[in-house]
C-alpha cells in the first residue's frame, strides 16, 4: 500500500476537485439526445436490438455508452447524481490506468504520480468528466489505456497479447470510435519499446485492425448520415482547418486558450499567431527536450508523444468534422503528454540529486505551484457545468454573437422552469438577431405561461411567413381546442 501512496493521494485530490458535480443537473446540450430524451435509455422496450447496437441517432455506434446510461436509468431514473458520480469514478479509473502505464514504461513512482496529476487535474478534462455526455470519452479512454497497459505487460505471447489488446480496443471503440488508432500504436510501441521486428509487431497489431476496421466504416457512414462531416470542403480548407485545430488544441493543453463548451470560429479560420505558430514552437521545444534526455527517458517521452499524436488522429480534422474544436478531443492525447512530462521530471530529479537540499526543495515547490495553477483553473471551470443556464452563459461570454447560443440560453431557462426568464431571453435574442428565428420559442413560452392571446398572435405571425409550420399549427390547434 505504501508504494502506491502517491497514486492514492493523487486520486483523492482529483476526486475532491470534481466532487461538486454530484449536485449538478443535466444540461441542454446533447444530454437530451444521449440520456433524458433518448428512447434507448428511457423507453428501451420501444426500441430494437439493432438500434441499441447501432445507436443511429448519435451518429456512430456507441452501444457501451448507451448501455451504461440505461443501467443508471434502471437504478435511479433520471436523478443526475448517479450519472455524474459514474463519470467521476470512470475518470479516476482512467487516471489509475495512466499511472499503471507510467510504471510499466519505467517511470518512477514519483514520475507516475506527476503524470496522473497533470492529466487528472488539467482544465481540458473538465468537459468530459463533468458533462454527462462526456461518458463516451471516459469509457473509450479506459478501453484504449487498458489495451495499452496489456501491450506493455511482460510474460505473454504475441498472439495472446494481440487478442487482449484487441478486446479492450473493441470495448473502447464501442463507446466512441477514438480507439481506431490502436493498431498503429501497437506497431509503434512494439518497435520502440519492445524492439520487435516489423513482422512480429504487425502480427500483434492484426487482431485490433480486424476488430476496429468495421467500427471505422460504421462510424464514418454514421457521421456522414447525420451531417457531422463536411461534405463539400476543399482540400485546402481541410488542411487549413486541420492545422488550426492542431494549434488550437495544443494551445488548450498549454493553457494558452480558455476551455469552453463551444469554440465558435469562422470557417476557414483567420490566421492567429497564438494558434498557428503553436505547433512550430511546441515542436522545437520537444526536439530540444528529447535531445537533452538520456536514452531510457527519451524512449519513454517519445512513447508518450507517439501515443498523443496517434490518439489525436481521429479528431485531427483530416476527415473534416463540423465540430472540429472541442476540449474533449484532447482528453486521451493528454495522457501521452503526461507521461512525457513525468519522464522529464524524473530526469530533472536525477540531475539535481547530488545538488544542495535547497535546490531539491525549490524543484518540489515549483512542481507544487505548477500543479496548483492547473488545479485552480479546473476549479473555476467545474461550476460552469452546474446546469444549462451556467453553461450557455459561459459560452456566450467566450463566443462571438450567435443566434443558436442565444436560443440555447433561453431553452436552458425553460428546462429549469424559469419561463419568465426564458421569455425575456428569447425577446432579447429577437432584438439582437432576426426576430423570425425566435417566434416559435416565444410563442411556446407564452403558451406555457398562460398568455394565450399573445401566443396565438405569435403563431399566426409564423404562419404568415411559413404556411404549414407544424409547431405553429400544433399550438394553434391546442389554443382553439381542436
Any domain includes 308: yes
One domain, residues 128 and 243: yes
CA dihedral (134, 398, 435, 460) in degrees, to 10, reads 20
Range of the domain at 444: 401-479
Any domain includes 91: yes
Within 8 A by CB and 6+ apart from 19, the residues are 88
One domain, residues 182 and 254: yes
Helix, strand, or coil (residue 28): coil
One domain, residues 75 and 182: yes
- The residue from 359, 384, 409 where one domain ends is 384
pLDDT given for residue 233 in this prediction: 77
Any domain includes 47: yes
Strands (E), 232-340: none
- The residue from 384, 419, 443 where one domain ends is 384
One domain, residues 350 and 416: no
One domain, residues 98 and 182: yes
One domain, residues 320 and 465: no
pLDDT given for residue 263 in this prediction: 84
Separation between Cα atoms, residue 36 and residue 4, nearest integer Å? 39
One domain, residues 248 and 363: yes
Within 8 A by CB and 6+ apart from 93, the residues are 142
317 in the Ramachandran plot: left (φ > 0), alpha (ψ -120 to 50) or beta?
left
Closest among 403, 215, 388, 233 to 324, alpha carbons compared: 233
Separation between Cα atoms, residue 50 and residue 42, nearest integer Å? 17
One domain, residues 73 and 125: yes
pLDDT given for residue 57 in this prediction: 85
Any domain includes 396: no
Any domain includes 283: yes
Separation between Cα atoms, residue 383 and residue 20, nearest integer Å? 8
pTM: 0.94
One domain, residues 359 and 420: no
Separation between Cα atoms, residue 450 and residue 427, nearest integer Å? 17
Any domain includes 442: yes
Separation between Cα atoms, residue 25 and residue 84, nearest integer Å? 9
Element (H, E) at 70: helix 63-76
What CATH number does residue 445 fall under? 1.25.40.10
Helix, strand, or coil (residue 363): helix
Any domain includes 199: yes
Mean pLDDT split into 10-residue runs, the chain, 482 residues = 85 98 96 95 92 88 95 97 98 98 95 96 97 97 97 78 93 92 95 91 92 88 82 84 95 92 81 95 95 91 97 89 89 97 90 75 84 94 97 90 94 96 96 93 94 92 89 89 63
One domain, residues 90 and 115: yes
One domain, residues 377 and 443: no
- Counting the structural domains of the chain, the total is 2
Closest among 253, 235, 377, 248 to 320, alpha carbons compared: 235
pLDDT given for residue 157 in this prediction: 65
Closest among 398, 268, 393, 272 to 327, alpha carbons compared: 398
One domain, residues 293 and 244: yes
- The residue from 384, 413, 446 where one domain ends is 384
The answer to whether the CB of 145 falls within 8 A of the CB of 101 is yes
Under DSSP, the state recorded for 106 is T
Number of H helices and E strands in the chain, helices first, is 24, 0
Amino acid at each position: 500500500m505504501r508504494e502506491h501512496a502517491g497514486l492514492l493521494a493523487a486520486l483523492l485530490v482529483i476526486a475532491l476537485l470534481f466532487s461538486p458535480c454530484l449536485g449538478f443537473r443535466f444540461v441542454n446540450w446533447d444530454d437530451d439526445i444521449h440520456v433524458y430524451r433518448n428512447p434507448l435509455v428511457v423507453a428501451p422496450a420501444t426500441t430494437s436490438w439493432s438500434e441499441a447496437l447501432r445507436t443511429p441517432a448519435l451518429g456512430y455506434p456507441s452501444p457501451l455508452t448507451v448501455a451504461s446510461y440505461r443501467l443508471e436509468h434502471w437504478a435511479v431514473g433520471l436523478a443526475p447524481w448517479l450519472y455524474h458520480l459514474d463519470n467521476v469514478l470512470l475518470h479516476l479509473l482512467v487516471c489509475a490506468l495512466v499511472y499503471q502505464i507510467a510504471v510499466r514504461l519505467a517511470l518512477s513512482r514519483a514520475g507516475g504520480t506527476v503524470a496522473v496529476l497533470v492529466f487528472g487535474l488539467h482544465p481540458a478534462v473538465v468537459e468530459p468528466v463533468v458533462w454527462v455526455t462526456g461518458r463516451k470519452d471516459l469509457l473509450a479512454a479506459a478501453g484504449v489505456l487498458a489495451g495499452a497497459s496489456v501491450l506493455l505487460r511482460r510474460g505473454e505471447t504475441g498472439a495472446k497479447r494481440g487478442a487482449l489488446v484487441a478486446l479492450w480496443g473493441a470495448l473502447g471503440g464501442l463507446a466512441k470510435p477514438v480507439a481506431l488508432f490502436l493498431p498503429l500504436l501497437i506497431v509503434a510501441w512494439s518497435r520502440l519499446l519492445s524492439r520487435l521486428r516489423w513482422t512480429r509487431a504487425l502480427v500483434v497489431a492484426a487482431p485490433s485492425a480486424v476488430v476496429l476496421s468495421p467500427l471505422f466504416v460504421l462510424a464514418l457512414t454514421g457521421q456522414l448520415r447525420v451531417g457531422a462531416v463536411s461534405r463539400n470542403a476543399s482540400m485546402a480548407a481541410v488542411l487549413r482547418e486541420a492545422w488550426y485545430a492542431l494549434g488550437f488544441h495544443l494551445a488548450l493543453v498549454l493553457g494558452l486558450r480558455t476551455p469552453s463548451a463551444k469554440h465558435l470560429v469562422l470557417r476557414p479560420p483567420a490566421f492567429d499567431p497564438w494558434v498557428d505558430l503553436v505547433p512550430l514552437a511546441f515542436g522545437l521545444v520537444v526536439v530540444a527536450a528529447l535531445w537533452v534526455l538520456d536514452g531510457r527517458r527519451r524512449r519513454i517521452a517519445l512513447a508518450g508523444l507517439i501515443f498523443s499524436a496517434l490518439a489525436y488522429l481521429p479528431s485531427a480534422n483530416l476527415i473534416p468534422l463540423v465540430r472540429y474544436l472541442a476540449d474533449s478531443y484532447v482528453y486521451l492525447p493528454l495522457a501521452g503528454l503526461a507521461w512525457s512530462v513525468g519522464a522529464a521530471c524524473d530526469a530533472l530529479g536525477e540531475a539535481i540529486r547530488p545538488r544542495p537540499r535547497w535546490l531539491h526543495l525549490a524543484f518540489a515547490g515549483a512542481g507544487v505551484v505548477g500543479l496548483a495553477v492547473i488545479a485552480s483553473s479546473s476549479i473555476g471551470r467545474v461550476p460552469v457545468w452546474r446546469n444549462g443556464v451556467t453553461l450557455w452563459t459561459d459560452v456566450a461570454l467566450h463566443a462571438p454573437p450567435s443566434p443558436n447560443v442565444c436560443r440555447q440560453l433561453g431553452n436552458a431557462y425553460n428546462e429549469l422552469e424559469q419561463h419568465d426568464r426564458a421569455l425575456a431571453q428569447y425577446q432579447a435574442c429577437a432584438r439582437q438577431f432576426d426576430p423570425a428565428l425566435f417566434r416559435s420559442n416565444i410563442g411556446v413560452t407564452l403558451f406555457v405561461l398562460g398568455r394565450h392571446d399573445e401566443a396565438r398572435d405569435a403563431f399566426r405571425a409564423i404562419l404568415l411567413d411559413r404556411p404549414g409550420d407544424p409547431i405553429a399549427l400544433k399550438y394553434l390547434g391546442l389554443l382553439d381546442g381542436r
